[in-house]
Amino acid sequence: MINILFAARPERWTAYEQPLRDALQAAGITAHLAEEITPAEVDYIIYAPNSDLQDFTPYTRAKAVLNLWAGVERITDNKTLRIPLARMVDPGLTKGMVEWVTGHVLRYHLGMDAHIVNPAHEWHVTTPPLAHERNVVILGLGALGTACADALLGLGFRVTGWSRSPKNVKGVDCLHGDAGLSQALNRGEIVVTLLPDTPATTDIINAQTLAQMPRGAFLINPGRGPLIDDDALIAALDNGQLAHATLDVFRTEPLPQTDPYWAHPRVTVTPHIAAATRDKTASEQLVENIRRGEAGEPFINLVDRKLGY
C-alpha cells in the first residue's frame, strides 16, 4: 500500500480528493490517500506551500514532494526538504495561460480598447498592422512561455523569446543573457513576462529595462508580481514610455483597494486569473509522478533547487 499525504488547505482537499482517487484508479495504483498520515509512513506528499506542513524532517520514508502550484519560490529554500521536489505543469493551466496571453496580445495589437471604451462616441478609424508586422517578446521560455510563443507564431506574429540560459524554440528568435535581454526589449512592441520568481528575476522590469523598450510599448505580466519594479512601471506609464500595462499578478494579493494600479488609466488589473490549475488534469500529472516513482522511472518537472525553478 502506498501512503499519499495531501498537505494543503482544506478547500483544496475538497476539490482534489475525488479527481486524485479517479486518477489513481485509472493508473492502477492502490493507495491510501488522506490529509493525516503518520509522517514516518508517508511515501509521497502532495503539497501546497501555504499548508501547515513546513518541516519535512519527520517524513523519513517519503520519495518526493509533488507541488500543487506552478510556483515553487516559497518552498525551494526550505532546508528540511531533502527529497526531490516536482513543480506543477498542468496541461489545463497551460491552455488557460495561452488563451489569456493570446487574448491580451490581440487586444493591444488590434487597438481594441479605443473601441470598447469610447464614452465620447468618436468614430475611430484606425488600421492596425498585420500580425507578421508586429514584434512580440516573451520573457521566459519555460513550459508556459514556449506554449504562448507557439500560439502567437501560429497567428503570424514575429516572436522573440528571452531566457536566462540558452533555449531553442522552433520559429522563435531565442536570446539569453544580459545582452540578449537588451536586444529583446529593444524589439518589444508587446512584452509578455513569464519568468519565475527568483533573486535573479526580481525587479527585472525596472527603469533601465523599461527604457529599452520602444516608446509606446505594451506590457503584459501574468508571471510573478516581483518581476516588476512597481514605481518604475508607473513612472514609465505616466511619461508615455509605455502605452498600457495589463497585470495579473502582484506582490500583495489580493491587490489592496488603495493600490495606485487600480485607478491608473493606463493599467488593466486582472485578479490572478491568467492560468488556474484544473483539478482533473493536475491530478493526472501528480499521479503520473507517483507511478514513475514506484516504477523507478525519473520524475517529471523536477525543480533545480539552485536555480529556484
- What CATH number matches the domain at 2-90+277-295, 2.60.40.10, 3.40.50.970, 3.40.50.720, 3.30.70.3270? 3.40.50.720
Residue 5 to residue 37: CA distance in whole angstroms: 6
State the pLDDT at residue 125: 86
The CATH class given to the 91-269 domain equals alpha beta
Q: CA 57, 58, 62 angle in degrees (round to 5)?
A: 90
* Structural contact between residues 183 and 157, judged by C-beta atoms closer than 8 angstroms: no
* Structural contact between residues 270 and 264, judged by C-beta atoms closer than 8 angstroms: no
State the pLDDT at residue 106: 98
Q: What is the pLDDT along the chain (309 residues), one digit of tens a residue?
A: 999 999 999 999 999 999 999 999 999 999 999 999 999 999 999 999 999 999 999 999 999 999 999 889 999 999 999 999 999 999 999 999 999 999 999 999 999 999 998 999 999 888 999 999 999 999 999 999 999 999 999 999 999 999 999 999 999 999 999 999 999 999 999 999 999 999 999 999 999 999 999 999 999 999 999 999 999 999 999 999 999 999 999 999 999 999 999 999 999 999 999 998 899 999 999 999 999 999 999 999 999 988 888
State the pLDDT at residue 300: 97
Which residue of the set 107, 134, 164, 224 is catalytic?
A: 224
For residue 272, indicate whether it is catalytic.
yes
* Structural contact between residues 247 and 223, judged by C-beta atoms closer than 8 angstroms: no
91-269 has the same fold as 2-90+277-295:
yes
Buried b (16+ CB within 10 A) or exposed e, 115-152: eeeeeeeeeeeeeeeebeebbbbbbbbbbbbbbbbebb
State the pLDDT at residue 126: 85
Residue 207 to residue 39: CA distance in whole angstroms: 48
Q: Which three cell numbers stand for residue 180?
A: 540578449
Residue 180 to residue 40: CA distance in whole angstroms: 48
State the pLDDT at residue 276: 86
pTM: 0.86
Residue 16 to residue 206: CA distance in whole angstroms: 39
State the pLDDT at residue 71: 87
For residue 121, indicate whether it is catalytic.
no
* Structural contact between residues 162 and 138, judged by C-beta atoms closer than 8 angstroms: yes
Domain boundaries, the chain: 2-90+277-295, 91-269
Which residue of the set 61, 266, 272, 291 is catalytic?
A: 272
